[in-house]
Structure 1
Amino acid sequence: MTIIGSTLAAKVRDALRVVIDPELGLNIVDLGFVYGISVEDGAAWIVMTATTPGCPATGFLKEGVSNSALRVPGVKSVDVTMTFDPPWTPALMTADARAELDFRN
């Protein structure tokens, strides 16, 4: 994950932990969906993914990310970009998330 913009970007990342993937039941940070966060002059840019390009929860996830980031003091605007390059794989999850979902490397 790329975090640019210091402490504020780290706070945004922490705030995104409340966004839960409805299919997998874990937060998008631990699932490895967040590819990058940058914050400059109160504007946050977030690059993220979902499990597949056809994921029906994509709109829900983007809305949750935007709303959660806007709740961070100092963030005035949010731009969320969905990408599927690189494609998401279970290897992007934290070790705890893989263990909780019983994914093996």
Structure 2
Amino acid sequence: MTAALDTEQIRAALRKVVDPEVGANIVDLGLVYRIEVDSSKLLIEMTMTSPACPMGEMIVDDAYTELERILPADCQPEIRLVWEPPWAPSMMSEKCRLGLGWNEADSA
């Protein structure tokens, strides 16, 4: 993987992936927990708003599609779904919370 590709570029690509049930991207929703870039490997740990999320498989597929657009051909990304810590509305960016009409009291 080229040194020029960093976690911010990866986050930018993942911001194009929208959770259709919420209408916000997975980065601002706080679903992306970890991005690890190492030579020709990329590991992403992420979660869903709920383990029963019916859109989970589609969201992961969309994430792979967006990553393929920016990653070198020799880089194989791995996306792991994790459930710890459980997602909570407080993990959303402030902009996302405001855009969805949530306030801090709703997020606690």
TM-score (norm 2): 0.86
What letter corresponds to residue 77 of structure 1 in structure 2? Q
Corresponding residue number in structure 2 for 1:88: 87
What is the percentage of aligned positions where both structures have the same residue? 34
Q: CA RMSD in A?
A: 1.6
Corresponding residue number in structure 1 for 2:41: 43
* Greater gyration radius: 2
Task: Give the direction of change, closer, same or farther, for the CA distance of 1:54–1:99 in structure 2 (3 Å limit).
Answer: same
Q: Secondary structure of the residue that 1:85 maps to in structure 2?
A: coil
Deviation at 1:8, TM superposition (A): 2.0
Q: Secondary structure of the residue that 1:71 maps to in structure 2?
A: helix
Picking from 53, 64, 72, the partner of 2:51 is 53
Which stretches of structure 1, 4 residues or more, deviate above 4 A after TM superposition?
none
TM-score (norm 1): 0.88
What letter corresponds to residue 52 of structure 2 in structure 1? G
Question: What CA distance in whole angstroms lies between the structure 2 residues aligned with 1:40 and 1:9?
Answer: 11
CA contact (8 A) 1:53 1:84 kept: yes
**Pair 1:100 & 2:102 matched:** no
> Which runs of no fewer than 5 residues in structure 1 stay unpaired?
none
